[in-house]
Amino acid sequence: MKTLLFAALAAAVSLSAVGAAKAQNYPTQPVTLMIPFSAGGPTDVIARLLAQVMSEDLGQQVLVENVTGAGGTLASGRLAQSTPDGHTVLLHHMGIATSATLYRNLPYDPLTAFDYVGQVTTVPMLLVSRPDYPAEDFKQLLEMIREKPEETLLANAGPGAVSHLCGMLFMQAVGVQLTTVPYPGTGPAMTDTMGGQVDLLCDQTTGATNPVQSKAVKAYATATTERIAVLPDVPTALEQGLDGFEIGVWHGMYVPAGTPEPVKERLTGSLQKALQNETVIRRFAELGTEPVPQEDATPESLEKHYKEQIEFWRPLIEEAGEYAN
């Protein structure tokens, strides 16, 4: 009996030693960096910039995978079910916190399903329109949509997406209900806005800066307290008389709960290095954003912020009573 017990103990010890050794050698294969929205969109842009630099640092390819659907919760659910070995990582924005209340039948527990790598960035948003939208300025735009709200098509990436939240804020501030058109991400929503298939879109600067600068879309107002440095000619909604239309989008990097400490430390270190990389800083700036300070690119900071944001949005969503399922 004693011998059996000893053998079982020895096996357990050697297995955990193998686990620890594996964690020390991390990564042992390419790392999948899931994002919950389409290719070419604002989250995708950030993910691909980070993936390139983190690949070099980790010595393994970091491959971006677009896992779209259900306002980003499909990707979060996939992460929750992944092996917690650091080879599957999720980059998501604040939608991961609003979804905790918005979706009543999530396939994971938002408070226990994840471990945290760090915060990444906060991105401003703005309202754009198809290039031939007839309104000459924001005032005229408001008059036109108030006149024909149902005929005005407002694109978004579905409940759980920040374009959806931003659109709701806009409609609430103006006091109209427009016709919303959901897409799997604002990448394709922006393409359709440029093509004139929809009228309006509220998007992050990481997706909207280039189309605005090249005049592929018109920009009417930013959802910020101050003008955005890369788009200095676009006035804020506030300075044009519209109150209550303000939103900034934070992003974080997550792994499944139970990921070994050394693996998380390696990922956090790699994220911090990427956020200090000159090319990343320059490209972020060109897209109207900047990396978070290093002390926020940490598991503790992201966990705190994520959980505070779930609590912040819960009563607002419950009061609105508009759930996604």
List, in order, residues 6 or more apart from 85 with CB less than 8 Å away.
22, 23, 26, 259, 260, 263
Quote the least distance from Cβ 199 to ligand MLT, whole Å.
Answer: 17
180 binds ligand MLT (CB under 6 A): no
User: Which own/partner pairs from 105-108 qualify as long-range (CB within 8 Å, at least 24 positions apart)?
Assistant: 105/325, 106/73, 106/76, 106/77, 107/73, 107/77, 107/80, 107/81, 108/76, 108/77, 108/80, 108/81
CB of 304 to ligand MLT, least distance (A): 22
CB of 307 to ligand MLT, least distance (A): 20
Nearer to ligand MLT among residue 39 and residue 117 (C-beta): 39
How far apart, in whole angstroms, are the C-alpha atoms of residue 49 and residue 78?
22
Tokens representing 159? 């409940």
Q: How far is the CB of 287 from ligand MLT (least distance, A)?
A: 12
The one among 77, 86, 95, 299 contacting ligand MLT by CB under 6 A: 95
Complex with ligand MLT: residue 162 or 324, whichever CB lies closer: 162
Under the binding rule (CB under 6 A), the answer on residue 93 touching ligand MLT is yes
User: Quick one: which of 31, 39, 41, 284 contacts ligand MLT (CB under 6 A)?
Assistant: 41
Count the residues of the shown chain that bind ligand MLT, applying the rule CB under 6 A. 15
Between 207 and 299, CB nearer to ligand MLT: 207
The residue type of 306 is: Y
| Nearest distance from C-beta of residue 102 to ligand MLT, angstroms | 12
Residue type, 164: H
Residue ranges in 147-166 that form contacts with ligand MLT under rule CB under 6 A: 157, 161-163
Asked if 64 is part of the footprint of ligand MLT (rule: CB under 6 A), the reply reads no
> Measured between alpha carbons, how far is residue 298 from residues 47, 123, 246, 283, 302 in Å?
17, 18, 26, 22, 6
Q: 58 vs 75, which CB is nearer to ligand MLT? A: 75
- Check residue 43 for interaction with ligand MLT (CB under 6 A): yes
Candidates 184-192, 209-217, 240-248, 266-274 — which segment interacts with ligand MLT by CB under 6 A? Answer: 184-192
Q: Residue 44 or residue 199: which is nearer to ligand MLT going by CB?
A: 44
Cα 242 to Cα 79, 144, 165, 178, distances in angstroms: 39, 15, 17, 17
* 3-state SS, one letter per residue, for 143-207: HHHHHCCCCCEEEECCECEHHHHHHHHHHHHHCCCCEEEECCCHHHHHHHHHHCCCCEEEEEHHH
Q: Tell me the closest approach of the beta carbon of residue 49 to ligand MLT, in angstroms.
A: 13
Q: Which residues bind ligand MLT (CB under 6 A)?
A: 37-38, 41-44, 93, 95, 157, 161-163, 185-187
